[in-house]
Chains A and B, each alone.
Chain A
């Protein structure tokens, strides 16, 4: 008897446009890990009969992360830089039976799209938003991002980033949405766990995923291979069950606290406007 079992196809292949694989993401990138973890949570919800895959929509903006829309087999939209959240909001309001996921990067969601993020959270809009933070504008070649920790070198901060990074967990939490969590691509089980909880919940849900960009982030700050960057990020993350918002602060030396910062069950936008459908 063979020691290994040959699996004819990827366990998530029914959720993937397999003809478009392999994906465009670099070796060592956290995006594939993140998408895989999300799809495993989706699969659990589908198998439990809690999500109809025909009603699931993934909306992305522009950037490395936005390419996720290429690879999912269910409905998806690759829109414009920063605008995934309003596009997704329009789709959800027009057809409340849809479960709409936004999948974007930190530049997309917190930089150019930051205003849309704040207002969607304020409305407790019935969306699940993932922000994959690789701490850099990667697709354009490694420019400083709003999330880049102070002091780090990027192509547009060749003398070190003089600015302070944005704390998106705190920013979103200040608008009192229903769910705010932070995970990391170094902890895929957490991404799956948080996604599983947030899928199908009412109101605005936000999950930040700290991620690795070895190509145009790690190499600029002295991590010359994907493994060393992965190990560095992993060593800078600490998991807590229900951290306080003050623990959401981060910098390059102290790293990130991962966990579920906010879990609430307030009425979402659709319920408050009389359009909620369970």
Chain B
């Protein structure tokens, strides 16, 4: 383990490499480019591949191809690039290709403000591909968590054979902080299940009890069929209702049923709290400061911070906030995750505090907005 003073972008790159990243494909986009540049300088010396493609569409498809060729692969982008990747994300989902997409949110829609952060993509990363599926989305609030959640994202991807989104933003991306970097030997590294014999390898989509199939890859002699159409356990196209339902329910349930592997949240000062702020990502930082200030002023506030956005854990959210009278969902958007919180929490009044601020709302702005409801 060594400590270094780095940005969240670099921390994510380091976490990915510690987890076993061997292939990175990307296209330049603010505020993700320097993550790409950093990997281009260091990954080749670890025998990994870094390549710049003609667009984000090519980048994610190359990452899927690399995943099926047996290596851990990643790309990073921002909202506009993610929009282009959505098509490929669907391919990764239906072919169950483990990979990580880092989305470093900037202000949208469209070109928006490339250098500034909002939390505009929290639905895009979850719902933008057509079809029936579920996808894990992890959301760090610091450079350290960029490292930690990059490792976790790869482990989930490999464990569940799924794409995983790591959702950062433009403020975190270039925030310099001290980070404890651990080597591959110092962290838990999960690798995809492999077929135990030729027979198993002939069924690239036949799940075990955990709903996850072992993954045969190219060049291993299995004659693997990677299939974007609805397919049976062999990877053969089957347009019938039974096969389709079985496939998409499994794609959903292998994620939702493995909630404990994915979901994480943190509580601060919630033991005696009457009020709670719910926040995630960069906004949780000033929210934490606002909570401390409220407590200084005598209001019993706590902070409930989401480290995972999707799959959404209704039960953990409801349990964590069950003793709270008023819940304030503070976000740097028009109030997106508020809907999920309000749906889950029946025991308290849930209030949306949407603070759109390209500089990230400072603690005072949060306090002021929340106080209106006290």
* Chain A interfacial positions (CB closer than 8 Å to B): 17, 20, 54-55, 57, 59, 62, 69-70, 73-80, 83, 85-95, 97-98, 115-116, 118-119, 273, 275
CA distance A254 to B58 in the complex (A): 36
Contact call B225/A90, Cβ cutoff below 8 A: no
Residues from chain B with a CB closer than 8 A to the CB of A78 are 225-229, 237
CA distance A116 to B57 in the complex (A): 9
Contact of A89 among B62, B87, B227 (CB under 8 A): B62
**Can you list 9 A-B contacts with CB-CB less than 8 angstroms, sorted by A residue number?**
A59-B65, A69-B226, A77-B68, A78-B227, A83-B88, A86-B53, A89-B51, A89-B65, A116-B57
Contact call B218/A91, Cβ cutoff below 8 A: yes
Q: A20-B236, A77-B68, A91-B65 are in contact. Are A54 and B221 (CB under 8 A)?
A: yes
Contact call A57/B62, Cβ cutoff below 8 A: no
Q: B70 in the interface, Cβ–Cβ < 8 Å?
A: yes
Q: B157 in the interface, Cβ–Cβ < 8 Å?
A: no
B212-229 residues with Cβ-Cβ distance < 8 A to A are 218-229
Q: A69-B225, A76-B225 are in contact. Are A91 and B69 (CB under 8 A)?
A: yes
Residues from chain B with a CB closer than 8 A to the CB of A116 are 54, 57-58
Contact call A90/B61, Cβ cutoff below 8 A: yes
B65-84 residues with Cβ-Cβ distance < 8 A to A are 65-71, 73
Contact call B62/A77, Cβ cutoff below 8 A: no
Contact call B219/A80, Cβ cutoff below 8 A: no
Residues from chain A with a CB closer than 8 A to the CB of B23 are 90, 93-94
CA distance A54 to B51 in the complex (A): 26
Contact call B228/A80, Cβ cutoff below 8 A: yes
CA distance A119 to B59 in the complex (A): 12
Residue of A20, A70, A90 contacting most chain B CB atoms (<10 Å): A90
Contact call A79/B225, Cβ cutoff below 8 A: no
Contact call B221/A80, Cβ cutoff below 8 A: no
Contact call A86/B229, Cβ cutoff below 8 A: no
Q: A83-B88, A94-B22 are in contact. Are A75 and B53 (CB under 8 A)?
A: no
Residues from chain A with a CB closer than 8 A to the CB of B68 are 77, 91
Residue of A54, A83, A115, A119 contacting most chain B CB atoms (<10 Å): A83
B22-65 residues with Cβ-Cβ distance < 8 A to A are 22-23, 25, 49, 51, 53-55, 57-59, 61-65
| Nearest CB of chain B from residue A35's CB, rounded to whole Å | 16
Contact call A86/B223, Cβ cutoff below 8 A: no
Contact call A86/B57, Cβ cutoff below 8 A: yes
B2-36 residues with Cβ-Cβ distance < 8 A to A are 22-23, 25
Contact call B218/A119, Cβ cutoff below 8 A: no
- The binding surface of chain B is classed by DSSP as mixed
Residues from chain A with a CB closer than 8 A to the CB of B237 are 70, 78
Interface residues on B, range: 35 or more
Contact call B91/A79, Cβ cutoff below 8 A: yes
Contact call A115/B54, Cβ cutoff below 8 A: yes
Which residue of chain B lies nearest to A99 when distances are taken between CB atoms in the complex?
Answer: B219
Q: A54-B220, A80-B88 are in contact. Are A86 and B236 (CB under 8 A)?
A: no
Which residue of chain B lies nearest to A274 when distances are taken between CB atoms in the complex?
Answer: B44
Number of A-B residue pairs having CB atoms within 8 Å of each other in the complex = 128
Contact call A88/B227, Cβ cutoff below 8 A: no
Residues from chain A with a CB closer than 8 A to the CB of B220 are 54
Residues from chain B with a CB closer than 8 A to the CB of A70 are 225, 236-237
Which residue of chain B lies nearest to A97 when distances are taken between CB atoms in the complex?
Answer: B219
7 additional contacts (CB under 8 A) given A69-B226, A73-B223, A76-B225: A54-B220, A70-B236, A79-B226, A87-B61, A90-B73, A93-B51, A94-B70
CA distance A76 to B95 in the complex (A): 12
| Nearest CB of chain B from residue A143's CB, rounded to whole Å | 20
7 tightest A-B contacts by CB? A90-B65, A90-B62, A77-B226, A94-B66, A86-B58, A94-B69, A91-B65
Residues from chain A with a CB closer than 8 A to the CB of B25 are 90
Which residue of chain A lies nearest to B49 when distances are taken between CB atoms in the complex?
Answer: A93
Which residue of chain B lies nearest to A118 when distances are taken between CB atoms in the complex?
Answer: B54
Residues from chain A with a CB closer than 8 A to the CB of B87 are 80, 83
Residue of A54, A57, A86 contacting most chain B CB atoms (<10 Å): A86
Residues from chain B with a CB closer than 8 A to the CB of A57 are 218-219
CA distance A98 to B23 in the complex (A): 16
Residues from chain B with a CB closer than 8 A to the CB of A55 are 219
Residue of A89, A98, A118 contacting most chain B CB atoms (<10 Å): A89
Residues from chain A with a CB closer than 8 A to the CB of B70 are 94-95
Residues from chain B with a CB closer than 8 A to the CB of A87 are 61-62, 64-65
| Nearest CB of chain B from residue A123's CB, rounded to whole Å | 9
B281-331 residues with Cβ-Cβ distance < 8 A to A are none
Q: A80-B87, A91-B66 are in contact. Are A75 and B71 (CB under 8 A)?
A: no
CA distance A94 to B74 in the complex (A): 12
| Nearest CB of chain B from residue A53's CB, rounded to whole Å | 9
